[in-house]
Amino acid sequence: MYTPIFLALLVVFSSSSVSSRSLTSSDLKVLERFWQDDSPKQPLPAANDDKIDIFSDIEEIMGEQNDDRCYDKDKTNCETWANKGRCDLAFTKARMEEICPMSCGKCKAPAAPACSLSEYGCCWNGVNEATGPNQEGCLTCKNYKTTRFCENNKSTCDDLSSEEFMKNYCAETCGYCSAFA
């Protein structure tokens, strides 16, 4: 198992873009931790002319992401890679921050919605302004799709690709109404 990993690391460190002189002690410690890790490894991709791109498989699976929200684009591997120090390695840092910004600690706290500054705050949806106390002027917080539909899709309430839809059409099932009951 270590032979393919060793060969891949050898290719990376013998390439013209990365030399042993450019590695920091932090880089070397991360490589040492990686070498000592006995957990099963996914095989590294084959080397191209100059480098190994450990993220090529992610782009192939995920496609290009155009979402401005800060989240890890590879939910399976980002935390593991970050724990191995890849956010700080000179030759993977920029790519890690692009693919795994949350795990690398690069996410900023979201700005408060404009309605939070209004006299009565936001409606349950976090977007519209309440016009009076107790959620006056807000849409009723309920499921606007059938109960069966909402229950069948409950697992997607927090999924980035369907969160907005579920908040608008299955608010009760997803638990958005409980704070205002």
At 35 the pLDDT is 53
Q: How far apart are CA 28 and CA 33, in angstroms?
A: 9
Burial class (CB in 10 A: 0-12, 13-18, 19+), 103: buried
Better pLDDT: 96 or 14: 96
For residues 137 and 158, give the distance between their C-alpha atoms in angstroms, rounded to a whole number. 26
pLDDT at 49 (0 to 100): 39
Average pLDDT over residues 20-46: 52
Residue 95 confidence (pLDDT) above 70: yes
pLDDT of residue 30: 58
* Locus of tokens 């404009």: 114
CA–CA gap between residue 38 and residue 19 (Å, rounded)? 26
What is the average per-residue pLDDT within 85-103? Answer: 92
Q: 133, 111, 109, 110: which is closest to 121 by C-alpha?
A: 133
- In angstroms, what CA-CA distances link 70 with 5, 50, 82, 162? 31, 30, 16, 16
Residue 143 confidence (pLDDT) above 90: yes
149-171 pLDDT, tens digit per residue, is 999 999 999 887 888 899 889 99
Residue 125: pLDDT over 60? yes
pLDDT at 108: 81
Place of tokens 């932090």: 26
DSSP string, 26-51: HHHHHHHHHHH--S--PPPPPP-SS-
Q: Band of the pLDDT at 68, cuts 50, 70, 90?
A: low
The token pair at 156 is: 């997607």
Side chain identity at 179, as an amino acid letter?
A
pLDDT at 152: 95
Confidence of residue 104 (pLDDT cuts 50, 70, 90): very high
